[in-house]
């Protein structure tokens, strides 16, 4: 068994004060995202998505965020997948952007709603064609005998839709998360980390500080 107890590093980032962040949390998110994009161009939109079943059993995975604005954050998935089913049963979720290069994290909690089929279809057909075909044939999160099953189904779909538009699968959709809470975490020396949160109050946002 590995002993991780002595694995540690020091954080030496610039301190984060409440006054350093704007009144609206999305403005703060946008600034931090743009700063991270300058340091790490690969998958800057990768985010950890936490969901729970109707019974409260949690699960977590990394997805790619495909849209963000002050009203919310959007991503796409097979609706029959584990995360799709959990979001349909229990429409609340939590997102975590982790950017170790900058010693930063952003946590975003909120409720989720299904995106319109028009938005889903527009995004689906903007994807590379082979990605569309994989989405068409994949029974995401379901057990399959081996990878050959998926690869053969892909080749069959590729031949079937040659020179044709790949149809949007009925089971493929998108979700939009409407935030009610943001937390901006900035690593600091001696684990005295800075944590500034925004809590939605009616149409306004309350900003405060949390102990590390």
Kindly tell me the sign of the dihedral angle through the C-alpha atoms of 125, 131, 136, 139.
negative
Encode pLDDT of 116-155 as tens digits.
999 999 999 999 999 999 999 998 888 888 999 999 999 9
Encode pLDDT of 142-194 as tens digits.
888 899 999 999 999 999 999 899 999 999 999 999 999 999 999 999 999 99
> Catalytic residue numbers?
191
**Is the per-residue pLDDT at 20 higher than 90?**
yes
Q: How many residues does the chain have?
A: 212
- The pTM of the full predicted model, rounded to 2 decimals, is 0.92
Tokens matching residue 137: 């044939």
Residue ranges of the chain that CATH labels 2.30.110.10: 18-124+176-210
Q: What is the CATH number of domain 18-124+176-210?
A: 2.30.110.10
Encode pLDDT of 23-64 as tens digits.
999 999 999 999 999 998 889 999 999 999 999 999 999 999
**Is the per-residue pLDDT at 13 higher than 90?**
no
Q: What is the C-alpha separation between 181 and 175, in angstroms, rounded? A: 18
Encode pLDDT of 59-107 as tens digits.
999 999 999 999 999 999 999 999 999 999 999 999 999 999 999 999 9
> Do residues 23 and 205 make contact, with C-beta atoms less than 8 angstroms apart?
yes
Q: What is the C-alpha separation between 146 and 160, in angstroms, rounded? A: 22
> Do residues 191 and 212 make contact, with C-beta atoms less than 8 angstroms apart?
yes
Angle at 176 between CA 96 and CA 86, to 5 degrees: 75
Tokens matching residue 198: 């925004």
- DSSP category for residue 2: -
> Do residues 75 and 49 make contact, with C-beta atoms less than 8 angstroms apart?
yes
Percent of the chain with pLDDT strictly greater than 70: 100
Q: What is the C-alpha separation between 35 and 32, in angstroms, rounded? A: 5
């Amino acid at each position: 068994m590995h002993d991780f107890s002595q694995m540690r590093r020091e954080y030496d980032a610039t301190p984060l004060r409440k006054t350093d962040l704007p009144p609206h949390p999305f403005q703060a998110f946008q600034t931090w995202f743009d700063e991270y994009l300058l340091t790490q161009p690969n998958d800057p939109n990768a985010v950890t998505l936490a969901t729970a079943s109707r019974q409260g059993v949690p699960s977590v995975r990394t997805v790619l965020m495909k849209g963000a604005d002050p009203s919310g954050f959007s991503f796409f998935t097979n609706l029959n997948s584990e995360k799709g089913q959990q979001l349909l049963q229990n429409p609340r979720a939590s997102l975590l952007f982790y950017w170790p290069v900058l010693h930063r994290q952003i946590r975003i909690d909120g409720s989720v709603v299904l995106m319109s089929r028009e938005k889903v279809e527009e995004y689906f057909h903007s994807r590379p064609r082979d990605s569309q075909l994989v989405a068409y044939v994949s029974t995401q999160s379901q057990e399959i005998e081996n990878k050959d099953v998926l690869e053969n189904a892909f080749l069959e779909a590729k031949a079937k839709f040659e020179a044709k538009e790949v149809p949007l699968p009925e089971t493929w959709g998108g979700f939009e998360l409407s935030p009610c809470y943001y937390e901006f975490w900035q690593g600091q020396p001696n684990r005295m980390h800075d944590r500034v949160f925004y809590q939605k109050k009616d149409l306004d946002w309350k900003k405060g500080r949390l102990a590390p």
